[in-house]
Structure 1
Amino acid sequence: MIPLLLVLLTGICPATANEIYANAGDLVMLNCRESKHNGTVMPWKMETDQKMQLYSNMSASEQQQLGLVFYQHSLVILRASANHQGNYSCGPPGNTSSQIWFRLKVCPKQSTECTTRNTYSMVCHAKQACKLNCPEGSIPNVGIPRMKSMEHMWHKENGEPSDNYFPSVGLEKSGVYICKRSFLYSGEIYQTSSSVKLVVQAVEPPAKLGIYLPKNGQIFEVELGTKKEIVCKALVNSCQNSPYWTSEREFVDDLDVHTDPCNGSEKMPKWMSTTLIFREVSPVNLSKTFTCGFLSDKHIFTVNITLVKTAQPLHAMLAVCSVCVVVLMAAIVVVYVKFKIDVTLFLRDKVGFKVCQSSTSDGRSYDAFLMCYKSVTDGGLSEEDRKCLASTLEDEFGYSICLYDRDVLPGQAIAEAVLDCIEQSRAVVLVPSFPDPEPGSAVLSAIHTSLVERKTRLIFINTEQTEASRSGSFPEALQLLSKAGNSVTWKGRPPSTSFWKQLRYHLPAPQQTPKMQLLSQKC
């Protein structure tokens, strides 16, 4: 209803009017070339605050007074102002089908509305020549008499002067450029301006035929027993020249490749892909080289790829190593606990003598002092057993043994002699005997304090009978000494290998190399 009312009141249809935006002070031209009026005089109607009938044959003074220039079918407004804002129509009056309508909007200089409306976009490509053209807008080249077009001036949006031609435009040249056109008429210069928004786009060079994926020599990490797909992507110029896969100069089985479908009517060149499919990666695949090929009209393109087993992640390797270390240490502990005697003797016999035999001596003459005490039962070692014990330690294991009845001078006090033997020995071996031999059990109480103070290594040899009755029938001195020493059980002659190992384990290493490596059965 409202548009119809505007048509009735103004004679102009807002829906079809040509909208023209101009900055105050700019030159504006309204062109009525498309009108079907064939008369020599073009009637114009201007509707602003006051309706005004205009004709192209107005006198020059009248035109100058109104700031207008009529030429043929054009109306030129030399300096647009708010007074010129309104609706314009041209053409024969009364024939609306032959009329052309204009709606002129004049913006103040500080307004950006007209600048935005009069901005034109232009696209150039980077690193190519680019020329900015000043938009004609509402200023066509109509050849108005006495009006001369002057050189166009260009500047950037910030006012900085600029050229309108770039031999090799860069991306940084994107922005808004303003073209200012000047016209000389009747001795005065009139101007109009319009804006060009330049967009510089980066352009990729045209792709060439060939294989783009994968890269030649590329290595793919895979996990054995898993599925793996490798895509060969090529730019082809024919559906018949699709990429293919080979291995050791033979085509890969069709069941192990998949090629994208291609329609011969499609635009060329086009991208095509052929996928190499490993349904279950095997060790054999790791030893082969696979080749993707593509045959064009003039060239053969190939790339080679190989498969390698995926390296274990660092944290997984650390976890595995940690578990291995823990298992190894646990195994070492178990083995040592179970075989600590054998391990200690092995290291002592095979390594200790070779490395340490030249070390500084502790100044003691004997490795061990064999001291007898009276057994509380009949299960003590006999004289033959004691001789066997002493001779085996000396002759076969290289120990220097101190024997009371052999190495103590006659006439010396028993307690004093025993203390001397203890002081000269690195260990004391208490041997249960029956009957009571020299020096006897009477001196045990006297030497207890000396053994504790000197921290002399003490080894008890028990028999099965003495071991069973030791708790209640042992003298107090023996009970105290037994708590401070280590025990080895004698099970009769010939002594077992286990007995000798345990005894040697508790004894210090002999100061001289053993004379025999194999244990004899002479006792």
Structure 2
Amino acid sequence: METAILLFCFILPVFSQECCAINHQKKEKGFQQHTHRQLTHRHYKAVEGEIFMIPCVKSPNNTVGLHTLIRSRTEEDKEGNNGPTFSCGKGFLTEIKHSGKYTSPNGEMVFTLQVLQKISLGCFLPNESSVMLLVNIGGTISCPGLACSNNTGAVWFKGAKAVAEQRRDSCQKEGLLELCTVSQIDSGVYFCDRQIMEQGVTWILRRAVNVTVIPRLNASAPPDIRYPSANMTEEVELDRPHNLTCKIYFEFEIGLHCPISVQWFMNHGGNMKNRTLLHMEKLEQENNFKGCLVIWKAIIENVALQHLNHTYTCIASNTVGNSSVTIALKRKFQVIWPSLVGYPLASFVVVTGLGIIVHVKWLELRIFWRSQFQYRKQDGEEKLFDVLLSYVRSSPSAEVAGGLTLSSKSEPYDYEKACLSNIPLEVLLPQVLEDQWGYRLCLLERDILPGGAYTNDVALAIKRSRMLLCVLSADYLANSDAVFVLESGVQALLQKSGVKVLLIRTDGRPVSLIHPDTSLSQLVQRALRVLPSLDWNSYKSSTATSSFWSSLRKAMPNHRSGLVSAMQSQ
């Protein structure tokens, strides 16, 4: 058998090269005449047990595609049994019962199929229905039954498409299909059609050939054991099962299934001549065009001390030779320190890490806690001022906006009707907080008498206020006096003075990035990260119903009636 295949794969391609060189152009035209012929009634013969595919053709008017054929009802179908239905372009195994006449749903196309018994052919050869071709060389496919027929003309198809319409180097000659260079994609089912005349009717005898492209006839090397490696040692646990895994790659060999042979042996005392075959199970297999990769395992049900005195060998074989790998086992000592030492140590590391984080962030945590919760405990304490407003003017004309000044109180400022986007925030805030909302406001430039010590005056003003409100404009953190007010407010917050500190950002950036070039103290830098803040946008916050004004109103201290008492106590 292998000799015949060798002759078929290596001798016939010599003729195919001449066919490809001389007749490649001639076969195109002949194919077009056959494949484009349009018939209203087509007659096909097939052989039982072979794959058959109804060809897809167009109707005579060239407008309706033929997709499905339904067998016409016969005398046997009078009881209501429906006949078989087939779709063009889809292969199926033929049976004698498939013989009959088929029509398309629109009735324009008629198709007659006659399934022949194998014994009726006279010279049926089963081997003709399958061919193996070697990759990267020329190959020849012969039409089955060609030697028993006087008609050597045949038209070839691969699947539903004529070979003549496929862009590849091939030709057809005397019932043979010559492939100039065989590639992996040439595998598949091919059909050869030959015309037969019977009683004036032209029949097409369609035979199928299953073509398999192979990389080689025989393996070129013994199996490649990829795991385990030679002389390696695997760790095992006593009184527990263990799997010995062997991963092997086998090259393709014609007529042999992968894998050819894999065995695990236990060598008693390391003696290769005194061995025992172990029970094996297949884990997985990966096939490709050139070979296959298989994984087999041998199972040791319960590892005992005597298993450590033996060696274990994996042997893989093919027609070229054998490959083997021997390994040993060693005891795996259970580590008990993770439960006795590791867990307490891990807990200590976690606690220590948290302690370091708290130590580094302790100042920020204190500022955050007091700014969020501490002031509420002393919110009822009587103070001279409700709010100390700290800001840096953006321009010399900031005092005047809309015809009103900071000290103008002749008429209440209706901020709901004003165009807030045209008024600087440092001008707008005093008018809203004091004139509209009725809070007692402390402005350093207005309520602090000149000539005194600035630092003492600022500290006293913060002590007498329930809230410090800082407008962090672009110039605020670059102004030393303004930064001093903010730092004094943070210090007062840490001293449990009950003052609340609130920041208003005017340019949308984080407060720590408003003036990155300014050299600020660590206290101010950390306070800027955690102090509560609001964002002011001259466009989005220009209406009284904006979220800015709602949030500011909620952040303001409650109105108190103890102002007079506070003044008398001074």
TM-score, normalised by the number of residues in structure 2? 0.25
TM-score, normalised by the number of residues in structure 1? 0.26
